[in-house]
């Protein structure tokens, strides 16, 4: 175990470039890590069904999804942290009054509480996935949801932050914020995996670029922020690599000594 490490990778802006393509150098680096005996995992805000193709392409079966709310180790769910449905129902009522759409998400699908909205179209389309939320305003009933999306302009989420303390709100697009269980994070999801695998802190690595990576990068001993990350993200990381557009994953892995130059 002393020669093996576990490495967690964010997806958007980290593994994938801004056009949502996977650099060849990154794919090769992932397989080199696996050949060396390291454990490679994903830590993302995405739903499991939003990166199934990527998992297959990289042969990765361990992941933290929904920013830590749905955690899978070697294909088996080891932790889940669903949203408070009563609070979500009240939030939806407020959102409808404000004409702010909501999308409900479990581990298999996502459904919108309105038939159509420009904010949903614009933000979801940036993910370049083959799944789009269809209309089902009652999807939250009788099932566990691990994340929801609130569609509003920057600054408009403050009224929800003030009134719905069961949730954390993290913006991922100018027109959309993630709704998460209060206190949930990638860092907590990662902790569930490393406890199972037994990797000591000095053999834990994480790469990320977004605001939802701040806690992960601040708590993982060997953290690496992408060169394209915001300054607040770079500030908490132990290392800063090149941007995803400049083979930042390979450079970062070499920088921390996991791959040779």
Where does residue 178 rank: exposed (0-12), middle (13-18), buried (19+ CB within 10 A)? buried
DSSP secondary structure string for all residues of 158-208: HHHHHH-TTEEEEEEETTEEEEEETT--HHHHHHHHHHHHT--GGGEEEEE
Catalytic residue at 10? yes
Q: Which two tokens stand for residue 95?
A: 């959102």
Q: Which two tokens stand for residue 162?
A: 């003030």
* Catalytically annotated residue among 10, 12, 168, 209: 10
User: CB-side exposure of 230: number of CA atoms within 13 Å?
Assistant: 8
Rounded distance, CA 126 to CA 189, Å? Answer: 25
How many CB atoms within 10 Å of residue 40? 21
Sheet of 176-181, strand order? 134-135, 110-112, 102-105, 147-151, 176-181, 167-173
Beta bridge partners of 179: 148, 169
Cβ proximity of 31 and 66 under 8 Å: no
Q: Helix, strand or coil for residue 87?
A: helix
- Supply the Cα-derived Rg of the chain in whole angstroms: 18
* Active site positions, annotated: 10
């Amino acid at each position: 175990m002393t020669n093996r490490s576990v490495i967690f990778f964010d997806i958007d802006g980290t593994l994938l470039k801004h056009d949502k393509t996977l650099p060849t150098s990154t794919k090769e680096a992932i397989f080199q890590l696996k050949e060396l005996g390291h454990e490679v995992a994903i830590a993302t805000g995405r739903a499991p069904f939003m990166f199934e193709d990527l998992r297959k392409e990289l042969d990765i079966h361990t992941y933290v999804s929904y920013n830590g709310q749905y955690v899978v180790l070697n294909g088996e769910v080891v932790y889940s942290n669903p949203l408070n449905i009563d609070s979500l129902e009240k939030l939806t009522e407020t959102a409808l009054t404000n004409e702010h759409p909501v999308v409900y998400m479990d581990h298999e699908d996502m459904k919108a509480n309105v038939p159509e909205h420009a904010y949903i179209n614009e933000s979801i389309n940036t993910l370049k996935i083959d799944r789009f939320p269809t209309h089902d305003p009652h999807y939250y009933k009788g099932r566990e949801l691990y994340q929801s999306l609130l569609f509003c302009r920057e600054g408009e989420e403050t009224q929800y932050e003030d009134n719905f303390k069961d949730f954390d709100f993290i913006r991922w697009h100018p027109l959309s914020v993630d709704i998460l269980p209060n206190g949930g994070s990638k860092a907590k999801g990662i902790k569930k995996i490393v406890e199972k695998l037994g990797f000591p802190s000095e053999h834990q690595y994480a790469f990320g670029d977004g605001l939802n990576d701040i806690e992960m990068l601040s708590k993982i001993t060997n953290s690496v922020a992408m060169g394209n990350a915001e300054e607040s993200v770079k500030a908490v990381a132990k290392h800063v690599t090149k941007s995803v557009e400049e083979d930042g994953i390979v450079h970062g892995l070499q920088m921390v000594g996991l791959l040779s130059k």
